[in-house]
Structure 1
Amino acid sequence: MSTNLPLIWQAPTWPAMHYEPIPVTGELARAHRAQGVVEGKLAGLGFEQRLELAAEAWSQDAVATAAIEGERIDLISVRSSVGRRLGVGNKIGPAAPRSVEGLLDAMDDAVRERDAALTHERMYAWQAALFPTGYSGMSKIVVGAYRRHAEPMQIISGRVGRETIHYEAPPSERVPDEMDNFVAWFNAETEHDSLVKAALAHLWFESIHPFEDGNGRIGRVLIDLVLARDSGEVGRLIPISQRLLDNRDEYYAQLERAQHGELDVTEWVLWFVTQVRVASEQASVAIDTALAKAMFWTNHRDNVLTARQRKVVNLLLDAGPGGFEGGMSTKKYESIAGTSRATASRELIELEEMGLVCRVGAGRSTRYYLNIVGWGPADPVRAAQDGPAQGEDRS
């Protein structure tokens, strides 16, 4: 099987790749500004809140980087493992498989040991951690070392007999030399902005495709390493892998275009920097939500709530701006709190009187939302007119 697409490995070699600074400069400034906003907002949070945000972002990103490769891992077990590592949140949960623990080990090493040099052995350890049994699915693979098979390393999609070859990496015998060049470049001081370096490093590594399996996840760990060197632990809060998962088709398309084009990789760099900016903006929204929660409880610290009321309010807080779809009704409260209809109605009215929630609508169409600016329905008049969701008990 062969492809007519040109291979970037024919010459010149990767250190000659370049990008045009002018198209990238404006987006770089916006991305760094978004990163700076994240750092600034974090200053308004306590240490424990920062850890909780970092734990959730790390958990979501671990699930996302696996999902990009088509692997589904359990978010609850990841959260409990991350909680134990950071000493925060719910640390009691189902044990994560060894391969998942290995992924978290690699991601953690990139952040905690961000000042350590990148070496072949360090990447060997990351890749071996992903495949603790030495198998990828049903296939025995080389772990803790670069690939050595004689057949070409091809990136293929489609069913058997109808495959599409997206890219062919350099042959295995060239991998050690290619990776020597890559490691030397990665560790050297360069003129590249950190986000540009992350983009180039990821593209270069994925193009070498040095391992039999795990290249995508290791390539995204390298992004974590570059960003951690730039912003430290704050980098955990910026969900790059989640953003790439959300745009997986475009992510693959951009990599493919860069690998089959000339050595001008401006389009890839610009696209990657934009993803960092958007991921930073998403992190900023998450921090806003955490700040709103903290301020909410500070404002209502003197209110005495029943255990049921506190449970419902916490669920609404966890749901974030907009809360539950259709708002909180007496029926929902009754179900969540495990209480009678009369008690649910009375306790919701008490929450309104204490100022924790605000009411929209009247009679059977009454719905309650947290009393936080911007957290209610976008159109309260429409919400009142619409009444209960389809199929919901109107009482």
Structure 2
Amino acid sequence: MSSKTTPTPPRYLWQHPAWPVISFDTDALMQDLSHARLEQGKLLGLLEAIGLESGQEAARELWVQEAMATAAIEGEKLDQDAVRSSLAHRLGLAGLPTTDRHVDGLVQVMADATAQYQAPLTQERLCLWQAALFPGGSVNLRRVAVGRYRDHADAMQIVSGRLGREVVHYVAPPSAQVPQEMAQFLAWFECTHPAADAAPRLHGLVRAALAHLWFETIHPFEDGNGRLGRAIVDMALAQDMGAAVRVFGIARQMMTTRAAYDDALNQAQQSTAGTGLDVTPWVQWFVQACAQGCITSQAVVRQALEKAEFRQRAAASGVNARQTKVLDRLLQAGNRTLGGGFLGGMSSDKYCKLTGSSKATATRDLVDLAAKGLLRIEGVGKATRYAIAIDQWTQAPV
């Protein structure tokens, strides 16, 4: 009498016999896709309506936020001034880049993904992106294989938890399979390009969602896969728009809802008996995140317009060079409700440090700005602080 061994069902997408033929329910996505398109249109219309200078300022601010967010998802906190400096250099607004090569590398990758969105996504290009993220081939005193796919024999795992109590959330395909897996992915990405002759055409937001999931499922590099996967999303969305746009705030939204992002991606990478390769829930989460990202970006654009109007009001008020410098610093900090705000508000001591002025001059300048309606006074006595006088703006507490 012989016995049959029941085969172990595939645990992950890439282990499924039908992989990489991913499926999704178009009808279930229609409402969310329509909503996301509406919010995209509102955002792009708003950018065009506020004028060239304010629109460019808003786009730069959104770029800074995306760079900060895509790094933060990986647990890396970038210096915001360094990101602004690197971005200004890349846009020709400053002479020298930041001395932080990691920041420069990330900005370069983000720039290439969108500015060169029409160029093919190739293995060579991805390897150049990954190498740019790790100048010197290391991170946190740890060597990283750069400029090539991973080739180590150990399993590529996504884990969390303390040493000795790790929880394995996902195991990627073995390194030996990566070249073939990536060849299939890159071929799909090229043939589904909006300009390709594929029929029927894949919805741009769905394509971006599938591209991110597919790339993260392969996890082709030793490190940097998350940032590269989000750069691929930027590229896919730029291709969808037919323009070098990076204003939709996808990385920022992923960071804001980090737990939900991780859960949605992790669940999509599992191959359960009931769902197979149907990744509709992931695509739906991604599309909803796109819509919310656009809504938040609209608020950033409105903030840029508020800054421009404030600067005009300040110029008409006859402020001096010291006052202009401080007002610009407060404007740069932004509104607390959008994740900014000048920490603790402006005080006479902080004014002295920013301008190099005496305490008496600082107090006089601040009182003058309040009298002109450019700053509002909060607190009394030694607790007196000054905040930018724009409706609905608040400062970050100490």
Question: Which residue is equivalent to 2:296?
Answer: 282
**How big is each residue's C-alpha offset from its partner over 1:246-301, in whole Å with a ceiling of 9 and x where there is no partner?**
22222221111001133111111111112222221221111101111212333454
Instruction: Tell whether the 8 Å contact from 1:58 to 1:237 is kept in structure 2 after alignment.
Output: yes
Question: Which residue is equivalent to 1:75?
Answer: 80
The 5 A counterparts of 1:147-166 are 147-166=150-169
Residues 68-77 or 349-358, more deviating: 349-358
Unmatched tracts of structure 2, length 5 or more: 1-7, 193-197
Distance 1:135 1:336, change over 3 A: closer
User: Is residue 219 from structure 1 mapped to residue 229 from structure 2 by the alignment?
Assistant: yes
Question: Which residue is equivalent to 2:11?
Answer: 6
Question: Which residue is equivalent to 2:268?
Answer: 258
User: Is residue 185 from structure 1 mapped to residue 195 from structure 2 by the alignment?
Assistant: no
Partners of 1:166 and 1:365 in 2: how far apart?
49
User: Is residue 231 from structure 1 mapped to residue 241 from structure 2 by the alignment?
Assistant: yes
Cα deviation, residue 145, structure 1:
2.3
| 1:31 alignment partner AA | A
Instruction: Tell whether the 8 Å contact from 1:42 to 1:50 is kept in structure 2 after alignment.
Output: yes
Cα deviation, residue 112, structure 1:
1.1
Find the residue that maps to 2:168 and give its secondary structure: strand
Cα deviation, residue 303, structure 1:
2.5
User: Is residue 294 from structure 1 mapped to residue 299 from structure 2 by the alignment?
Assistant: no
Question: Which residue is equivalent to 2:114?
Answer: 111
TM-score computed with the length of structure 2 as normaliser:
0.80
Distance 1:63 1:347, change over 3 A: closer
Partners of 1:263 and 1:37 in 2: how far apart?
34
Question: Which residue is equivalent to 2:41?
Answer: 36
Residue among 54, 58, 75 paired with 2:59 = 54
**How big is each residue's C-alpha offset from its partner over 1:111-166, in whole Å with a ceiling of 9 and x where there is no partner?**
11100111122112212222333445555454322222333322222334332221
Cα deviation, residue 202, structure 1:
0.5
| 1:295 alignment partner AA | E
Equivalent pairs counted in the alignment come to 374
Distance 1:316 1:68, change over 3 A: closer
Question: Which residue is equivalent to 2:100?
Answer: 96
Find the residue that maps to 1:167 and give its secondary structure: strand
Cα deviation, residue 358, structure 1:
6.0
Instruction: Tell whether the 8 Å contact from 1:51 to 1:86 is kept in structure 2 after alignment.
Output: no
| 2:160 alignment partner AA | S
Instruction: Tell whether the 8 Å contact from 2:68 to 2:78 is kept in structure 1 after alignment.
Output: yes
Question: Which residue is equivalent to 2:32?
Answer: 27
Find the residue that maps to 1:251 and give its secondary structure: helix
Unmatched tracts of structure 1, length 5 or more: 378-388, 391-395
Find the residue that maps to 2:71 and give its secondary structure: helix
Partners of 1:328 and 1:146 in 2: how far apart?
49
| 1:259 alignment partner AA | Q
| 1:83 alignment partner AA | A
Cα deviation, residue 207, structure 1:
0.6
Find the residue that maps to 1:43 and give its secondary structure: helix
**How big is each residue's C-alpha offset from its partner over 1:215-265, in whole Å with a ceiling of 9 and x where there is no partner?**
111111101111121236663233322222222222221111001133111
Residue among 68, 87, 92 paired with 1:63 = 68
Question: Which residue is equivalent to 2:324?
Answer: 310
Find the residue that maps to 1:155 and give its secondary structure: strand
Residues 33-42 or 225-234, more deviating: 225-234
Distance 1:24 1:331, change over 3 A: same
Residue among 118, 123, 129 paired with 1:120 = 123
Residues 50-59 or 204-213, more deviating: 50-59
Question: Which residue is equivalent to 2:92?
Answer: 87
| 2:108 alignment partner AA | D
| 2:208 alignment partner AA | A
| 2:99 alignment partner AA | A
Tell me the C-alpha RMSD between the 2 structures: 3.4
TM-score computed with the length of structure 1 as normaliser:
0.81
Distance 1:364 1:132, change over 3 A: closer
